[in-house]
Amino acid sequence: MKMSKNNNNQDAAKTRAQFKKEHNGKVEKVQNKRIRVRILPIWLRIIIVAVLIFLSVIAGAAVGYGVIGGGNARDVFSKSTWTHIIDLVEKE
């Protein structure tokens, strides 16, 4: 059995005033809100993301210098390597 579109539109077109009139002027709020409890606070999420970015940069430098560059991956942590890289970049 098909319902006509006109019948559905009439039900959906009830205005707020009609709703109030049907319910004696009282409009009650629905109290079905879910309370969200965060397991990790936002400030902790930011710290975790910052630490993961730092670790990714360190791992990327080690892989880039050790595997792609053909050097020893541990050498990326020495100061002399970075001074050499900076000297190469700033060379005119």
Question: Does residue 48 fall inside a structural domain?
Answer: yes
Least confident of 13-17, 37-41, 65-69, 75-79: 13-17
Question: Does residue 68 fall inside a structural domain?
Answer: yes
Question: Does residue 92 fall inside a structural domain?
Answer: yes
Residue 25 DSSP label? T
pLDDT digits (tens, 9 = 90+) for 33-58: 788 888 889 999 999 999 999 999 99
Range of the domain at 76: 41-92
Which amino acid is it at 18? Q
62 and 75 in contact (C-beta within 8 Å)?
no
Structure tokens at 6: 């006109």
Q: How many domains does the chain have?
A: 1
In this prediction the pTM is 0.53
Give the residue among 89, 14, 83 at the shortest CA–CA distance from 75: 83
Question: Does residue 58 fall inside a structural domain?
Answer: yes
Question: Does residue 4 fall inside a structural domain?
Answer: no
Q: What are phi and psi of 80, to 5 degrees?
A: -65, -30
